[in-house]
Structure 1
Amino acid sequence: MADIESARTIFEQFDIDGDGFVTAAELRQVLAEVGGTDVPEETAQALIDANDGNGDGLLSFEEFWAARQAARNS
């Protein structure tokens, strides 16, 4: 249970506007603030698309959680 709560906290840091989705712009902003890394828009969108289960171009918590679980089990 603590693991999903930890994942939710991490997700919320990326979901800047709190709408329940992470956009490429939000991903870029957080990566720039935290790591000082300027990720191109196309790269940020590709990272989201790689885990975007329904193809809407956004990352929901459920998609984030599924990707985290898949990475953990590989």
Structure 2
Amino acid sequence: MADIEQAKATFARFDANGDGKVTAEEFKHAMAEMGDAYVTGPVAEAVIKAKDTDSDGLMSFDEFWTALQKS
């Protein structure tokens, strides 16, 4: 099980504008900053879509946390 405080810190790195939701563009940008320049727009969109349980096109912390619990 992941540590929720560590998960919140990680999520904050992805949530560039601090609105509580991560867009595909924010995800792609954060991954590039962390050294993974191979995450393209379509890849980022697929990752967000896979975790987006409410189908709003964004990843909330709750969705992120749920995905961590499954891994």
The question of a shared fold, defined as TM-score above 0.5 by the shorter chain, is answered with yes
**4+ long deviations beyond 4 Å:** none
| Structure 2 portions without partners, runs of 5+ | none
1:38 is displaced (CA, Å) by: 3.8
1:21 aligned onto 2:17 = no
Give the secondary structure class of the aligned counterpart of 2:51.
coil
Which residue number in structure 2 is paired with residue 12 of structure 1? 12
CA distance in 2, matches of 1:46, 1:57: 10
- Report the RMSD for the aligned CA atoms in angstroms: 1.3
**Deviation sequence 1:38-59 (CA, Å, 0-9, x none):** 4221110100100110011100
Which structure has the greater CA radius of gyration?
1
Which consecutive unaligned segments of at least 5 residues does structure 1 have?
none
> What corresponds to 1:53 in structure 2?
53
Superposition pairs of residues 29-40 of structure 1, within 5 angstroms: 29-40=29-40
Cα distance in 2, alignment partners of residues 11 and 35 from structure 1: 16
Question: What TM-score results when the alignment is normalised by the length of structure 1?
Answer: 0.88
Higher relative contact order (CA 8 A, sep 6+): 2
